[in-house]
């Protein structure tokens, strides 16, 4: 059994909620790829994460939507290196980073209005552009 993933003092993923599976990596690597199971498939039960508030849990669900399996578990894979231990640490770091990003509450957007100066500058710019385009046109004979 693996050790828990500690995100902050309050938030952690208990060891029992983590399932690790090693398999053979894809891609180049010579005979090593054919013999050694270095690719890590790490699955985390989102409901078991301790210390997450409900809004943060919902943000995590939204952030990880494309990485959820049929049971609703977070699936993270790593095959960056030829070492199983390094790939396991990389997968754990990915989980930690994902949970950390879910902990950050997004700033609420407050609608703003353009200032009077900005409105004036926009209108004067439009008039200047219209004058340039008007100067390009063929002069009318009846004026």
Beta carbons within 10 angstroms of residue 74's beta carbon = 24
Q: What is the CATH number of the domain that holds 22?
A: 3.30.160.20
**pLDDT score recorded for residue 111:** 92
Q: Is residue 19 part of a domain?
A: yes
**pLDDT score recorded for residue 30:** 67
Q: Is residue 117 part of a domain?
A: no
Q: Is residue 114 part of a domain?
A: no
Q: Is residue 127 part of a domain?
A: no
For residue range 102-134, list pLDDT tens digits in order. 988 989 999 999 999 999 999 999 999 999 999
Look-up of token digits 């210390």: 51
For residue range 41-71, list pLDDT tens digits in order. 889 998 888 888 899 989 989 988 888 888 8
Residue-range definition of the domain harbouring residue 25: 5-103
Give the chain's length: 143
């Amino acid at each position: 059994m693996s050790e828990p993933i500690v995100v902050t003092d309050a938030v952690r993923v208990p060891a029992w909620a983590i399932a690790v599976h090693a398999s053979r990596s894809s891609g180049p690597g010579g005979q090593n790829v054919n013999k050694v199971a270095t690719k890590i498939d790490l699955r985390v039960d989102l409901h078991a994460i301790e210390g997450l508030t409900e809004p943060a849990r919902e943000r995590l669900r939204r952030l990880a939507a494309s990485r959820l399996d049929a049971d609703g578990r977070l699936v993270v894979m790593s095959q960056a290196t030829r070492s199983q231990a390094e790939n396991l640490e990389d997968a754990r770091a990915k989980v930690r980073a994902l949970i950390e990003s879910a902990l950050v509450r997004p700033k609420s957007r407050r609608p703003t209005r353009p200032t009077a100066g900005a409105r004036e500058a926009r209108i004067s710019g439009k008039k200047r552009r219209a004058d340039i385009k008007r100067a390009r046109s063929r002069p009318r004979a009846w004026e």
